[in-house]
Amino acid sequence: MHFSIRISRQDMKPYLDSDYSISRNLRQRHRKKGVSNEYSHHLDSENKKKGRKKCQNGAYDEYGNIRSNGMDICDCMNQECDGCWYNCRSCGSTRCGPQCRSNRKFFYEDITYDGKDLNIQNKYISR
More confident residue, 12 or 57: 57
Average per-residue pLDDT for the chain: 77
SS3 content of the chain, % helix, strand, coil (to 5): 25, 5, 70
How does 49-58 read in b/e, with b if 16+ C-beta sit within 10 Å? eeeeeeeeee
pLDDT value for 52? 53
pLDDT value for 124? 85
- Annotated domain spans of the chain: 13-48, 56-127
pLDDT value for 120? 92
pLDDT value for 74? 93
pTM check: above 0.75? no
Question: Does the pLDDT at position 7 exceed 80?
Answer: no
User: What are 21-51's pLDDT values in tens digits?
Assistant: 777 777 777 776 655 555 555 555 555 555 5
